[in-house]
Amino acid sequence: MRIRSARSFLVLSTTATAGAALLLTAAPQGLAAESAVKVPVCKAKVLKLKAKVSKDPRVVHISVKNTSTRTCTVDRIPTVTFGDLDGAALPVPQGDSAPYKVGAGKTVYASVRTIADLKDPEARRVKTITVSANPAYNGRTFTAKEMGAAKVVKVWIPVTTWWKPSQAAADKALQKAVG
């Protein structure tokens, strides 16, 4: 009788554990599968970066294309630095680094406001802007001329949006953040 009770307990215990496991894996559709598969960080060689001054000379449009055949991640906040000035554009909204998925062959976009007022007497002038999709990478340096600016880009308290799926979404996020 005792052995039979122990076996019954073992069967019930195993069934309960299996049921709990089933409940955990039956979480919202795709959640368990997504968390089980880790998306790798994009290698620098598969990222194609671009930068161009928008119609508004205070704003630079940047993009990064994943040229590989697999989805990978970049940092959700682009790293944008200006010539030999210290620091990078501040993210709007504020936030910490985190992965941002970029599908195979897909491009993501951000908008960078380099200066609020082009007539600001505090403005610094730089001949280059460096953009990186991952702070661990050197990124790519663009000259003012390559970006479609005159000879320099004016900079004072620059801000950048997080990566967005379209340039329109990045521009909208910038407008919302800085008014």
C-alpha angle 141-65-98 in degrees, rounded to nearest 5: 85
pLDDT at 32: 39
Give the contacts of 176 (CB within 8 A, at least 6 positions apart). none
**pLDDT over 80 (residue 25):** no
Altogether, the residues listed in the chain come to a count of 179
Indicate the pTM of the whole model: 0.79
pLDDT at 36: 52
More confident residue, 159 or 28: 159
Give the contacts of 106 (CB within 8 A, at least 6 positions apart). 65, 66
**pLDDT over 90 (residue 23):** no
pLDDT at 81: 98
**pLDDT over 80 (residue 170):** yes
Q: CA 16, CA 13: separation in Å to the nearest integer?
A: 5
Asked whether the beta carbons of 109 and 18 are under 8 A apart, the reply is no
Q: CA 112, CA 161: separation in Å to the nearest integer?
A: 7
* Nearest one of 101, 35, 30 to 68, comparing CA atoms: 101
| Segment 41-91, tens digit of pLDDT | 999 999 999 999 999 999 999 999 999 999 999 999 999 999 999 999 999
Work out the mean pLDDT of the chain and round it to a whole number.
85
Q: What is the mean pLDDT of residues 104-112?
A: 98
More confident residue, 158 or 11: 158
| Segment 128-137, tens digit of pLDDT | 999 999 999 9
Beta strands in the chain (DSSP E): 47-53, 59-66, 72-75, 79-82, 90-92, 99-102, 107-113, 124-126, 128-132, 140-143, 153-155, 159-161
Between the CA atoms of 110, 169, 174 and 153, what dihedral angle is there, to the nearest 10 degrees? 40
